[in-house]
């Protein structure tokens, strides 16, 4: 798998509605997982919020989205990130380290509950980045 760069949208609590709307426009395959499904829920009232979704249209359009847990800030205008993902650990780790220069690291690059290596930061220019290194499948 090659490294991909995709927009990652953040919603307060209507990711399911938004992504189904976008699927009706762009078509393609839509996958969604709740916090509970990914064993990442810290607040039972948020079990059914979407932790991760991805829409992959047949024409190559692809983007991701998630709901924002109450413990995290949600602010329109900053509710998007650049997402780097793939299985090339050396390349993606290098990107994360380089983007970290002068950045605010909001989540270190480390093993996540879903089995991949994941990290988040806001670079020195104010751009939010998420990096996901796909773990090996058992």
pLDDT mean for each 10 residues of the chain (138 residues): 88 94 94 89 87 92 92 84 92 95 96 93 90 78
Decide if 130 contacts 83 (C-beta within 8 A): yes
Domains of the chain: 4-133 (3.10.180.10)
DSSP 134: P
Per DSSP bridges, beta strands 80-86 and 104-111 are unpaired
**Rounded to a whole number, what is the distance in angstroms from the first to the last CA of the chain?**
17
Tens of pLDDT, residues 97-129: 999 999 999 999 999 988 999 999 999 988 899
Q: What is the DSSP string of 7-21?
A: EEEEESS-HHHHHHH
């Amino acid at each position: 798998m090659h490294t991909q760069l995709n927009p990652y949208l953040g919603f307060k609590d209507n990711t399911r509605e938004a992504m189904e709307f976008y699927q009706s426009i762009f078509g393609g395959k839509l996958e969604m997982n709740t916090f509970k499904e990914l064993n990442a829920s810290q607040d039972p009232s948020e079990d059914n919020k979407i932790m991760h979704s991805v829409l992959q249209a047949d024409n190559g359009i692809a983007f991701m989205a998630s709901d924002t847990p109450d413990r995290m800030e949600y602010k329109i205008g900053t509710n998007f990130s650049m997402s780097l993902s793939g299985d090339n650990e050396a390349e993606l780790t290098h990107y994360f380290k380089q983007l970290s220069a002068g950045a605010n690291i909001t989540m270190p690059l480390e093993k996540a509950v879903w089995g991949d290596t994941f990290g988040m930061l806001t670079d020195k220019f104010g751009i939010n980045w998420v990096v996901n290194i796909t773990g090996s499948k058992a």
